[in-house]
Amino acid sequence: MKQDNQFVSGRIKSIKYAVLGAYKLVTTEHSVMVQSSLAVVMTAAGFYFKISREEWMMQILVFGLVLAIEGLNTAVEKIADFIHPDYHERIGFIKDIAAGAVMFAAMSAIAVGALIYLPKLL
């Protein structure tokens, strides 16, 4: 495929591929479907509880963090499976590390959610 070196048309193509990649993630990866659904629920909760601007910023930041890390984890898994389709101990190690990164992001999101919503619920 020929690379587009024009600034504007090259950026438009980059955005097109990014949107396509996000669509593929949301429509094919079950973990991303669950996390996206949780983001929608938490957005509705934010409107219901009338959270502050700062709380919105933190909530949006952790949604983006979890989904971005999950996307990278998915990419690592797909590349690893492409390179070595059969089980291999070192490939498994790499995939476990990527999954661990998602867990750290998810724990951060849970902590932010607890800090925002527990005081409103109690």
Alpha-carbon span 104 to 72, nearest angstrom: 14
For the whole model, what pTM was predicted?
0.86
Contact 29, 67 (CB under 8 A): no
The two most distant CA atoms of the chain are separated, in Å, by: 58
Per-residue pLDDT of the chain (122 residues; tens, 9 = 90+): 566 668 788 888 899 999 999 999 999 999 999 999 999 999 999 999 999 999 999 999 999 999 999 999 999 999 999 999 999 999 999 999 999 999 999 999 999 999 999 999 99
Q: How many helices (H) and strands (E) does the chain have?
A: 4, 0
